[in-house]
Amino acid sequence: MSPVELRAGASLAGVFGLRMLGLFLILPVFAVHAPKLSGGDNLTLVGVALGAYGLAQAILQIPFGMASDRWGRKPVIYVGLAIFAAGSLLAGAANDIWTAILGRALQGAGAISSVVVALAADLTREEHRTKVMAMIGAMIGFAFALSLVAAPALYQWIGMAGLFFLTGALCIAAMALVKTLVPEAAPPAPRPHGARRREVLQPELLRLNFGIFVLHIVQMAMFVVLPPLLVEAGLPLAGHWQLYLPAVLLSFAVMAPPILYADRRNRPKPVLLAAVALLMLVEGCLMFTKSLFAYGAALLAFFVAFNVLEALLPSLVSRIAPPHARGTAIGVYNTTQTLGLFFGGLAGGWVAKHYGAAAVFAGCAALSALWLAAASAMRPPAAAVNGLSRATL
């Protein structure tokens, strides 16, 4: 990787990390704090407050991506971060659950994930793009792990309002990072005459969108039922980070060799298929797991598969999508990702209520198997873009 590519990857990972750390810090403690708000004893509204962010993201990812294709990445990133910071300040000032819901929705309206990923793709060559996506994914995973440890202590120290205000401050810091460290990208590519939206809905992109949709359904459904199972296995809720944190951190080291192999040998397909197969195996094993050691091993394997796929999939989207529609294509991709989070939580809760945790894991394994079958027909990006004959990945 060139110095510019390293700088782009590190700085954009930092932008993602600052934004997501602020977001993740809210999740472990908001449900505990909500009864202190007027109307916060209504669990449905608490769920709406938590989910409003994702719904706004799902609605606005594509418009933000399209705007970045037309007006450039950095201006749209500044607008999105400013909206996110405004939502954080509004939520921090909330005295009732409805204002908190509005603040969370406004946070989600700063839907710049697709734009940041598109900018990362603009600033890197194809042979190094998966590594840059892995840097971004690793930073998000680290922010999540750090939030599990830091959120309870920060909540005791500065309260819920302080956490939201800290989130806004981290967003402003991310804006400064974009201004000072993120390299400048080339102007937006002109849209060819006659280009149509079907460019971002071509079969290979739809295959990848289906994959990220399944991945996040599995993630959310799994974590609907896993925490109570860990408690039943003898690990109190307050100690769950002791299992999550080592699994997340160790997974970063384990994921590196397959990511480097996929990049250096230009063989993303076998790595992707292996990661999906590992995901399917994890969900199948969780149907019969009872001990904490087995849960820890399953979590490690899950995070390895999850992190590899989170790096590979957006890299492939950025390679297949035409440059003049890259932001739009990644916007569609991120929208399906967010919808997967929503439907995963919804379906996971419904299946767990009616059929139990084992049925949730079985459903996740079945969806992973369906994804594996769909991904097995994947073609190289060059073949998908240029219409060449099928090549061996």
Better-scored residue on pLDDT, 385 or 355: 355
Query: Which class in CATH covers the domain with range 1-183?
Result: mainly alpha
**If you average pLDDT over residues 285-290, what whole number do you get?**
90
**If you average pLDDT over residues 156-167, what whole number do you get?**
89
pLDDT of residue 362: 95
Give per-residue pLDDT as tens, 15-36. 888 877 777 777 667 767 888 8
Query: What is the rounded distance in angstroms from the CA atom of residue 55 to the CA atom of residue 79?
Result: 19
Mean predicted lDDT score pLDDT of the chain: 83
Residues in the chain: 393
Task: Answer whether 0.85 is exceeded by the pTM.
Answer: no
Give per-residue pLDDT as tens, 181-215. 888 876 666 665 545 566 677 888 889 999 999 99
Which of 3.50.50.60, 1.20.1250.20, 3.40.1350.10, 1.10.260.40 is the CATH number of 198-393?
A: 1.20.1250.20
- Please provide the DSSP assignment of 139-153 as one string: HHHHHHHHHHHHHHH
Query: What is the rounded distance in angstroms from the CA atom of residue 13 to the CA atom of residue 293?
Result: 32
Residue 390's pLDDT band, with cuts at 50, 70 and 90, is very low
- Residue ranges of the domains in the chain? 1-183, 198-393
- Residues 63 and 330: beta-carbon distance below 8 Å: no
- Please provide the DSSP assignment of 232-285 as one string: HTT--GGGTHHHHHHHHHHHHHHHHHHHHHHHHTT-HHHHHHHHHHHHHHHHHH
Closest CA to 116 of 139, 136, 89: 136
